[in-house]
Amino acid sequence: MLTDEELNTIEEKLGRTPSEAELATLDTLWSEHCSYKSSKRWFYLFNTESERVRLGIGEGAGLIDIGDDYVIGMGLESHNHPSAVDPFNGAATGVGGIIRDIISQGCKPIAILDCLRFGPPTTPRQRLLLDQVVLGISSYGNCVGIPNQGGDTEFAQEFTTNPLVNAMCVGVAHQEDIIRSIASVPGHKLLLFGSSSGRDGIGGVTFASEELDDAQQENRGSVQIGDPLTEKVLIDAIIELRDRKLLSGLQDLGGGGLVCAAVEMAEKGGLGVNLDLEQVPLREQNMKAWEILVSESQERMLAVVDPTNLSDVKRVLDKFDLNYAVVGEITEGNTFEGYHHDELQTELPVDFTINGFPEPKREVGEPLINSVSLVPRDGHPLEVLLSSFNLSSRQPIYQQYDQHVQGNTVIGAERDSGVILLPNEKYLVTAAGTNSYLVGVAPESGAALATLSIIRKVIVRGALPIGMVDSLNAGNPEKPSSYGEFVSMIRGVATVSHELDLPVVGGNVSLYNESEQNGKIYKILPSPFVGICGLIDTGEPIPDLLRDDTETTIYILGQRSGILKGSEYGRYYGSDDELKIDYDLERECMNFIIENNDQITSATPIGHGGLLGTLAKWAIQSEVGIELESEENKAVLYGENTPRYLLQLTTSQVDYLQQENTSISLHKIAVIRDDATFVADRSWSLEELDKIWSEPLRTAMQT
Amino acid sequence: MQIAVIRFPGTNNEYETLRALQSFDEVDAELLEYKEINRVDEFDGFWLAGGFSFADVLRAGAIASQTEMITEIAATGQPVLGVCNGFQILTEASLLPGALMPNDSTRFICKWIYLKVSDHPAFQEVRGKVLKLPIAHFEGKLYTDELPDVYDFVRYSDKQGNIRPEVNPNGSDDNIAGAITKNHQFMGLMPHPERASFKHQGSTDGRLIIESFLTEVKQ
């Protein structure tokens, strides 16, 4: 809702009382979701440049050069509030929205990843949320035909009332096929195509910019309904329009609907825009001008078309049986004029409509997070960790996603990172996620370390990280402590972008993930999701699974020990150490792995669960027995968040690597066994460990 | 030989299928839109690719099975391979018997599985072999009272080729993953040979099945 200050600004600027349609327009475009009014002021912190960046923050997707005249497009967005109210449709349309952001730039979507947060799946409500969100993503993504490449899922009490559903999409295009979301020539027509417009999703962005409360059920009308078949046909049609160079500009209708797409594209071109709302194909009767402007019905695109191409464009859309209508025109000047029944409904300066809001004052307070520790059940710490919801097998989730459609998948969703063969015969490696508990423990350094942990998943395949997108999920920015958390985590992510020369090319901010129920405040753990794309320029991906070969040995590359604070172990058993970041060693390990990608038998980064947790998961998934060589202290066994990787090496590989790289340290840590057992301070059969690891989510999801 | 990969609205395996087919020297494969029925005579064989034809409304493959395209290609007498949604379309059209019902888990299943090939004459080159292919479907449980005029040619098995209930991913009758009519014209398969045709995909076993299909097309 517009604030009093914003209303005064509008009346002063216009010199009159705004119309209903104008109020709806400004309410939408000045919402937190569209305007980034609380967050934009911090974006300067990010490193946004590299030799490869072709398009940075500001449009649907960031574009990055991958050589051979190809670019990849990447984007990451939240769909939290809709998923809390209607988990199936909210999650499905979240996937749909980010896919359209990618095709808006002319990229063919080639990978989906998603980052999910729920309360522990021990209650019927949380199990339903988990089940329906996964089903929503699965039914939409599978139907559109884009392989799922992973992401992450975590569970914590703090997400019980505010689950998080963030989706990432990556696409690929030939350099010359890139489409921009800009209208730069007066006289060009605006062509709306795809689904018709209804009342679904009206006020969606305003809804996303407020706290959820006890009355959230009433907001069901703010959730959109998805239609993946239309989305698939949209992609096919846009690829053909793109290949025939028929479009001058393109933007999807996401948050803020038609008015947002039309006015944003005009503003980027420094021009005005006219809309004739009567031309918009509607699926409901008697819709008012303001409703047509801000409807968030799904699967709609707005194209900027040179009038000489119009008949060709229509012919393509006819071939695909898609609805379309010319709904407006780009004009000289700076005015957004909206007509309905020949009456002028809006007359607003374009730049004012996008940027005219008074920047709200926000107070950066001390973060106030009470990260909940957990009580371990009896048993060996390895068993406790493997059976915790955060570490247990994600198979019941990923098995519901098509990971191989399009035929380019090298590694699917269930390992460290996904790997896809690109059209230029190079490999794309992707990973997405964060570590919400760690960020809760220390918002700034935690955000940096969590980001590094995702980057390591890409590096470990031998890929150079080339682009990052982020989605910053936090509480109510009007509360100083919540805003302080937000600012801390943006600083953490931004520092990594500079230290690793990794440009941030897009992102999203989701605030107000805080709610009040029965007078009690529920606030999420701040969650700065990052999506990382890496490129393997020469050679093959380093294998992700162990080779069954007793002649090989497992080494730790990098720091021998980890940190217990903020680790999964620390969450159960406590810790007395401090977080530390060693960027020099991070870079050194990165360069070592990338340069020697043909000299490593297989590798995995030490992540959740520390050395022992990672080794055990590696053994289970590879079906190869492992024996730890020596007794180690807790920080070595269970610590996380230092630059350390596990490498499986043959004797000749070890000799080669140690000769070539005298500065880097390799610590021998484990050997391959010739039977299916896992041996540390006690021994388990792999079958036994697999059961412990697989059971929790299988039970929660009843699969 | 000319092979058509047929696309309905919602088909989404068309491009990897084309790529797999085109990697065979003797094959000339192209996309055929479901409305282009006047072009059917140009082809020696047809591949119904996977996906969600017409969004699988009503039942998987139900709408596509009622299109003129299916009637026309059946009338040519040329071999038709239906993979995943294509198999569902063929059972919905009663060109293969039985019904493909939702998986026992009532969830979509994407995973790598092993298949044991039977001794059907259409598969002489791969008879008795164990193949590794991926599946990705919601409705893959073949339900049928009997298989009168058809032969099940591949069944879900373990790595060693043992056909056991524990390795049945979806509850399909007798672990059946694929079926072929006695006259060899219609072949249906839930696993995806086109996703196991190149080294980068992790298995090239799918090529053996495609070769068997191509042998049928040649005859």
CATH code where residue B214 lies: 3.40.50.880
Task: Identify whether B192 is a catalytic site residue.
Answer: yes
CA-wise closest residue to A361 among A40, A37, A44, A42: A37
Q: Report pLDDT digits (tens) over A254-295.
A: 888 999 999 999 999 999 999 999 999 999 989 999 999 999
- Report the CATH superfamily, name and number, of domain A542-703: PurM-like C-terminal domain (3.90.650.10)
**Where do we find the tokens 């339900």?**
B143
Which among A229, A232, A400 is the nearest to B107, CB-wise? A400
Closest-approach residue (CA) in chain A for B52: A143
Which residue in A110, A405, A621 has the most chain B C-beta atoms within 10 A of its own C-beta, making it the best mutation to test that interface?
Answer: A405
Compute the distance between CA of residue A34 and CA of residue A37 in angstroms, rounded to an integer. Answer: 8
Which residue in A108, A399, A404, A702 has the most chain B C-beta atoms within 10 A of its own C-beta, making it the best mutation to test that interface?
Answer: A404
Interchain contact, A232 vs B194, CB within 8 Å: no
Q: What stretches of A175-217 adopt beta strand conformation (E)?
A: 189-194
Give the burial class of B124: count Cβ atoms within 10 A of its Cβ; 0-12 exposed, 13-18 middle, 19 or more buried.
Answer: exposed
Contact list in B for residue A143 (CB cut-off 8 A) is 10, 12, 51-52, 55-56
Model confidence at A154: pLDDT above 70: yes
Compute the distance between CA of residue A246 and CA of residue A310 in angstroms, rounded to an integer. Answer: 8
Domains held by chain B: number:
1
For A59, the token pair is: 């449009």
**Active-site option among B92, B137, B139, B192:** B192
- Find the helix or strand (DSSP H, E) in which A25 lies: helix A20-29
**Active-site option among B84, B120, B137, B216:** B84
Any idea what the Cα angle at residue A313 is, between residues A309 and A314, rounded to 5°?
A: 120
Q: Minimal Cα–Cα distance from A703 to chain B, Å?
A: 6
Contact list in A for residue B13 (CB cut-off 8 A) is 145, 405, 407
Q: A186-210 b/e with 16+ CB inside 10 Å = b? A: eebbbbbbbbbbbbbbbbbbbbbbb
CA-wise closest residue to A631 among A600, A660, A595, A669: A669
Compute the distance between CA of residue A168 and CA of residue A231 in angstroms, rounded to an integer. Answer: 16
pTM: 0.94
User: What is the pLDDT at residue A207?
Assistant: 66
DSSP state of A369: -
Q: Report CA-CA distances (Å) from A515 to A72, A114, A160, A521, B99.
A: 37, 23, 10, 6, 48
**Where do we find the tokens 């009346």?**
A11
Compute the distance between CA of residue A320 and CA of residue A237 in angstroms, rounded to an integer. Answer: 6
Section A231-244 average pLDDT: 93
ipTM of the predicted structure? Answer: 0.95
User: What does DSSP say about strands A108-118 and A148-155: parallel, antiparallel, or unpaired?
Assistant: parallel
Max CA separation in chain A (angstroms):
82
Closest-approach residue (CA) in chain B for A427: B200
Q: A659-695 b/e with 16+ CB inside 10 Å = b? A: eebeebbbbebbbbbeebbbbbeeebebeebbebbbe
User: What is the pLDDT at residue A417?
Assistant: 96
CB A430 within 8 A of CB A532: yes
Any idea what the Cα angle at residue B35 is, between residues B32 and B40, rounded to 5°?
A: 55
Mean pLDDT of chain A: 93
Closest-approach residue (CA) in chain B for A231: B10
Q: Minimal Cα–Cα distance from B75 to chain A, Å?
A: 26
Task: Identify whether A404 is a catalytic site residue.
Answer: no
User: What is the pLDDT at residue A369?
Assistant: 76
Of A569 and B97, more confident = A569
User: What does DSSP say about strands A300-305 and A249-252: parallel, antiparallel, or unpaired?
Assistant: antiparallel
List the single range of A216-220, A493-497, B107-111 with lowest mean pLDDT.
Answer: A216-220
**Active-site option among A79, A81, A340, A608:** A79
Compute the distance between CA of residue A374 and CA of residue B61 in angstroms, rounded to an integer. Answer: 48
Interchain contact, A404 vs B200, CB within 8 Å: no
Q: Minimal Cα–Cα distance from A105 to chain B, Å?
A: 21
Q: Minimal Cα–Cα distance from A233 to chain B, Å?
A: 7
Compute the distance between CA of residue A397 and CA of residue A407 in angstroms, rounded to an integer. Answer: 21
Model confidence at A350: pLDDT above 70: yes
Which among B12, B111, B198 is the nearest to A399, CB-wise? B111
Q: Report pLDDT digits (tens) over A434-456.
A: 999 999 999 999 999 999 999 99
Contact list in B for residue A407 (CB cut-off 8 A) is 13, 15-16, 19-20, 194-195, 197-198, 201
Which residue in B35, B110, B111 has the most chain A C-beta atoms within 10 A of its own C-beta, making it the best mutation to test that interface?
Answer: B110
Q: Report pLDDT digits (tens) over A24-33.
A: 999 999 998 8
Q: Report pLDDT digits (tens) over A398-441.
A: 999 999 999 999 999 989 999 999 999 999 999 999 999 999 99
Model confidence at A219: pLDDT above 80: no
Provide residues of B within 8 Å CB-CB of chain A. Answer: 9-10, 12-13, 15-16, 19-20, 50-52, 54-56, 105, 107-111, 134, 136, 192, 194-195, 197-198, 200-202
Section B112-131 average pLDDT: 87
Interchain contact, B110 vs A399, CB within 8 Å: yes
CB A269 within 8 A of CB A203: no
Which among B10, B134, B136 is the nearest to A232, CB-wise? B10
* Residues of the domain holding B110: 2-218
